Amino acid sequence: MRGYDEQSYGEGFADVYDDWYPDVSDVGATVARMVSLAGPAGHVLELGVGTGRLALPMAVAGLAVTGIDSSPAMLAKLAERDRSGAVEVVCGDMVDALPDGPFDAALVAYNTIFNLLDESTQQHCFTAVADRLVPGGAFVVEAFVPDASTPAATPTDVSVRSLAADRVVLSITVNEPEDQRADGQFVEFTESGGVRLRPWSIRWATPEQLDAMAAAAGMTLAERWEDMTMTPFDDDSSTHVSVYVTSDRR
């Protein structure tokens, strides 16, 4: 998408993210999984921490949480919610700006890995995370599963996300399946505020492609579930939670 950069998503969604996506995934189950993987007082790195939807509950559960995000707007919202500074925050991209660690576990939740817009950058992310994990540390990746219809996806889709007496939000998506890309805009019209554009862009990957990236970074797939409640993953699953671990002899 022309003009889109690493801060565009945060600038477009920071003011509505908590209202639009409060239940996008199971917070309680995510916290439980990360406590289990990192240990009761383990050090966890969350990539794309955003407004702290997951980081703050993880901190409340006793984990030492470091969150990284490239969006100052998102991190400002996190700071409003985290007056005590329970989450250590880094403003930067989730490849070259990762803190040194070491970390017992790392989390990239709900398709955030796909915000890295080419295969090479996604691979570099896996490698950077692996380098910062303790021996036997876990990298948890939560994402959707591109299904059989993805290559034949409608090139352009326009639909209504929400409709109210004083507001309408349209969703516009352009798919480029040959590049495993999708770009979109939420276009918000309000009676008082005019037009607001909220852009997004992803480069999706299959579970098998993510497995290959992990292997190239020296990690192996330890577990895969459909979701954070540990629902068994099968051929009909539309989402996956994949747990990659480093060698315990690093």
Q: Do domains 8-146+205-246 and 150-202 have the same CATH topology?
A: no
Structure tokens at 174: 């352009």
pTM comes to: 0.94
| Residue in the structure block whose two tokens are 């929400």 | 162
What lies within 8 Å, CB to CB, of 244 at 6+ separation is: 126, 138, 139, 140, 141, 214, 219, 220, 221, 222
The pLDDT score that the predictor gives to residue 149 is 46
Q: What is d(CA 74, CA 87) in angstroms, rounded to the nearest whole number?
A: 14
pLDDT < 70 positions in the chain: 148-154, 249-250
The pLDDT score that the predictor gives to residue 242 is 98
The pLDDT score that the predictor gives to residue 148 is 47
The pLDDT score that the predictor gives to residue 23 is 86
Strand, helix or coil for residue 206: coil
**8-146+205-246 CATH, one of 3.40.50.150, 3.30.465.10, 3.40.50.10190, 3.40.190.10:** 3.40.50.150
Fold assignment, 150-202: N-terminal domain of TfIIb (2.20.25)
Q: What is the pLDDT of residues 23-34, one digit of tens each?
A: 899 999 999 999
Count CA atoms closer than 13 A to 82's CA, side-chain side.
26
| Residue in the structure block whose two tokens are 């409340």 | 60
Q: Phi, psi (5° rounding) for residue 225?
A: -120, 170
Structure tokens at 146: 């591109």
The pLDDT score that the predictor gives to residue 249 is 53
What residues does each domain of the chain span?
8-146+205-246, 150-202
